[in-house]
Amino acid sequence: MPELPEVETTLRGITPYVKGQKVVAVHIRQPKLRWPVPSELHELEGQVVDSLQRRAKYLLMHTLKGTVIIHLGMSGSLRICDHDTAPGKHDHVDIVLANSHLLRLQDPRRFGSVLWTQQINRHPLLCALGPEPLHEAFNARYLYEKSRSRKVTIKTFIMNAHVVVGVGNIYASESLFMAGINPKTIAGRLSMARYEKLVFAIKTVLSLAIEQGGTTLRDFVSAEGQTGYFQLALSVYGRTGKPCQQCQKPIRQITQGQRSTYYCTSCQT
């Protein structure tokens, strides 16, 4: 599934082509995605895209009339194509722009979504989300206070979108390794000092991943059709049994909340 860095990479890739452009047509070939693509999406036609934004793993296209909410699901991607580019089997939605380009959603598994709203600040998918991990509002004091009396593991805690958005499975494992924190530690037992290390690690790991274009493990490609490269820098994720890059002990894999967790039993305490 595309994570925050992949979605941010997509946002940066499509923005130069889409921002400030008038939408001349919307083509919905397959409305049966994770949620049905609403017919109201055609209200986008004739509107100018004023701005684009990422909120958590959602891409938002703002116009004077309303906002398009796009989620890439498990295997979705957004591509910039020329008007005359023939659609493929899994190309479900086109947003045709006045500049001879179109924005195309490709989604083989159809777990993505394209929605339309005129009340973006009250939309149920967005209104209860936690702070962005790269914003100032996400800091050690916030996370420490949020964790008090919480009995869930720290990995589960930081992957909760009501606590902080965008820290997916890959980046949670990598951040906990950088901070030297065992993923099985109970969130409410961590000290302020350890939360300072963890917040620094989360911001660092996500920033590096964005710089390198995200992490390609299966299907992710950017708006230009390029794969991400952060997978080359992974320290623990997917490295079961391989030597830790710090102490040489084998990386261990466990399951937490039906997700694989990777960590070093020596370096993470």
**Which residues are the active-site residues?**
2-3, 57, 259
Tell me which residue of 109, 230, 219, 247 sits closest to 173, measured CA to CA.
230
Dig out the tokens for 188 from the structure.
Answer: 């409410």
Dig out the tokens for 34 from the structure.
Answer: 């994770």
Residue holding tokens 């593991």? 153
Q: Which residues, at least 6 apart from 99, have a Cβ–Cβ distance to it below 8 Å?
A: 17, 21
User: How many CB atoms neighbour CB 256 within 10 A?
Assistant: 18
Q: Are 164 and 133 in contact (CB under 8 A)?
A: yes
- At residue 39, φ and ψ (nearest 5 deg) are -65, -25
Dig out the tokens for 250 from the structure.
Answer: 């084998």
Q: Are 198 and 190 in contact (CB under 8 A)?
A: yes
Residue 84's alpha-carbon distances to 36, 101, 108, in angstroms, are 26, 9, 21
Pairing of strands 77-82, 101-106: antiparallel
Cα–Cα distance measured from residue 202 to residue 133, given in angstroms and rounded to the nearest whole number: 7
156-159 contacts, C-beta under 8 A, 24 or more apart? 156/187, 156/256, 156/257, 157/187, 158/198, 158/202, 159/257, 159/259
Dig out the tokens for 251 from the structure.
Answer: 């990386």
